[in-house]
Amino acid sequence: MENKNIWNRVFFSNTYEKFKWPRAEVDQFWLFMQKYSSNSQNKSADTYERRKHLGEKLLKKYSTSLPDEWSDIDTLKSKVKELNSQHFIDSSAIREFRDILLMFVDFNQGRKLKKSEKLKSFQENLPIYQHRDQILEAIQSYSVILIAGDTGKF
């Protein structure tokens, strides 16, 4: 991937207050990027415009949880220039990378939501769940609670 080192330093450096990237998530992003790049080769200008529009929509959707710098291409461009004085990376390449990164963030959020929904569904199907309110009430009322029940294993 061209300019990977620069992109890592600009977007994944964990210098942003709002957004920290665990190493495993950065690795997942680069796999996502690899697949995205191989699927998007030979695409039309229409695809570029749709991705750009989606990027703007996702930027608004996640504006409260993403670094403020990501919304301003000129700020990102100056950061890129500061880190990479030997090669020129234009605004459109920076915007494209940021938009793909936003698609990854959205994809990841969707995965986390599905996982959370699946866990909640699993919890609701446990026999103890029907006693949830009683247990929570007891926890608030008493300093020590003893709950006994079957594990569900035979």
Q: Using CA of residue 94, residue 100, residue 103, residue 104, what is the dihedral sign?
A: negative
41 contacts: CB under 8 Å, gap ≥ 6: none
Helix (H) or strand (E) holding 68: none
Separation CA 63–CA 33 (nearest Å): 22
Residue 137: pLDDT band with limits 50, 70, 90: very high
DSSP of 35-50, one letter per residue? HHHHHHTT--HHHHHH
Pairwise pLDDT comparison (45 vs 21), residue with the higher score: 21
Give me the pLDDT at residue 115, please. 86
Amino acid letter at 18?
Answer: K
pLDDT tens digits, one per residue of 40-59: 665 666 677 788 888 889 98
Count other Cβ atoms within 10 Å, centred on residue 112: 10
pLDDT tens digits, one per residue of 109-134: 888 888 888 988 888 888 888 888 99
What's the alpha-carbon Rg for the chain, to the nearest Å? Answer: 22
Separation CA 55–CA 49 (nearest Å): 10
Instruction: Tokens for 75, please give them.
Output: 């700020």
Q: What is the pTM of this model?
A: 0.68
Q: Tokens 């500061």 label which residue? A: 82
pLDDT tens digits, one per residue of 24-39: 888 999 999 988 888 7
Pairwise pLDDT comparison (43 vs 147), residue with the higher score: 147
pLDDT tens digits, one per residue of 62-84: 888 888 888 889 988 888 888 87
Give me the pLDDT at residue 110, please. 84
Pairwise pLDDT comparison (25 vs 17), residue with the higher score: 25
